[in-house]
Structure 1
Amino acid sequence: MESIRSLRYFITVAEEESYTRAAKLLGVAQPTLSKQLKELESEFGHALFARTTRSVSLTPRGERLYERAKNIVALYDQARREAAAEEGLTGDIRITAAETPALRGLIQAVGKLQEEAPRVRIHFVSADEEAARHDLQIGLSDFAVFVGNADATHFALMPLAQNARWGLLTRRDGPFASKTAIEPKDLLGHPIMISEQSCRRNDLSGWFGSVWDDVRIVGSYTLLFNASLMAREGVAHVLAIDGIITDSEASPLQWIPLSPAVHSSVSAAWNPARPLSPAATKLLEYWRETENQLRIVSGS
């Protein structure tokens, strides 16, 4: 308990960059806070903060501890919630997911779970594959959702009914206004943004084929909304999955499918080495049902 308290103090000081503000937020006297952090530094054998007369900042070793401390405290809080949960379906379920409309089955499953267990809370975290895999591995999340051929070693996987289709997010009044499909050669000479994850795994290099080396990639993104602002201002055209950014007639943006069509599979994952809570187990049961229903409706 004392170690967790010290880590909470450490995190708060790091985020506030001030002992005074941190002490006020934590509801403790500043001398008490300073004493706890000095003891923490003594325990780790090196300085965690660089102090000036006006503020404090993390040392390089302090920065490394900060990232680990957040995970440790989050896992401790999660364990306390699970231990304190009453009998029945209660508690929290955390899902780290890529941005994709393929979560329709999950959302339907959440709706069913809420009807049966209204005290269960669902927490969604948007993240790329690397962050989602990390959260799942250390037990910070109950489920993850991967788009494409993710490295899911040691995880249990459930393919989702809907896959992800790639296209170009661009202005309606831009150079592709008359296009109903985008071919690789169409993009030559234009500034293009691409998903950092798909770029790292070369998911689209096969579609580009021989023109890949000549494509003008001006940047990458992890969350599509930020990249969509680039497209909205006409600064770049964005290779993106359909259905994430609204392209209604009132929007200045349109999404145009790639030709030949490019699809990426979408999968749910969980860590079999970490038993699911009763609430998470029930959600997975409903999730399987809704995915099967969606497959029947789509005929896949």
Structure 2
Amino acid sequence: MTAPLAHDFAQHLARDRRRSDHTVRAYRAGAERLLGFLQAHWGGPVDRARLCAVEAADLRAFLAQRRGEGLGNASAARELSAVRAFLSWAGAPAPRTRGPRVKKGVPRPVSPGEAVALAREVADEASEPWIGARDWAVLLLLYGAGLRIGEALGLTGAVLPLGETLVVTGKRNKVRIVPLLPAVREAVEAYAGAVPWSIARDAALFRGAKGGALSPGVVRVKVRSARATLGLGERTTPHALRHSFATHLLGRGADLRQLQELLGHASLSSTQVYTAVDAAHLLDVYRHAHPRA
């Protein structure tokens, strides 16, 4: 019964919920993993009736197994979200189980895995595939290109077709050129090909559900919901993705002047804040990893 249940769940997500192909694959895989675990855990076949017997201890054991396979906090939280959705669809009340939490401490950048998981969670929860493509593209611009949310949403159709760089107008109308990673460029192009309205050169590139310019508040609300699902801290905001872009570049050898240009800071002192963040993060890693710390 396990394969038909997961298949029917995937059909429901695609047909009734109109979820993206990525979401359907990820949630189906989560359902199959849960069913396989329960079959071994209980020593027998699992059907809808048996799913109603799932208890919090069963979910904790399942998550413990997945964590033992190397899942990080954000990925484990997404797995829990998938199995909760599956149990709800099957008519089985999901037991109250707290998801993994990211430990709070010194301010730190969002890790690459957490940034991608956050963007993917926001995109997966979109009501329409094109909206999911839009949200994915916007958040990749913040994390992969270091844009402010206002800069990303201020882009117009004039940036299309995209090249290897992007001309961005920032604060005080300061213009800068930002290199585009292939993944970021592909995300924006995928959105541009999916949006149901034509994009004029002088019109907003990113559109809201009714066709107007996308509001920053919409993005912030989506990120707030996704970080709760993933167990990420309150500091995980759209602007935190830009901070992470800066901190990760600094940690990989970019100098402050280069970073100043990429971020569009008017003064070097604005960029120097990232040295403190990076030092705090490194100190935290040192204290937890060094045998004599």
- The two structures have a TM-score, normalised by structure 1, of 0.23
* Greater relative contact order structure (CA < 8 Å, 6+ sep): 1
Structure in which a larger fraction of residues adopt strand? 1
**Radius of gyration: which is bigger?**
1
- The two structures have a TM-score, normalised by structure 2, of 0.23
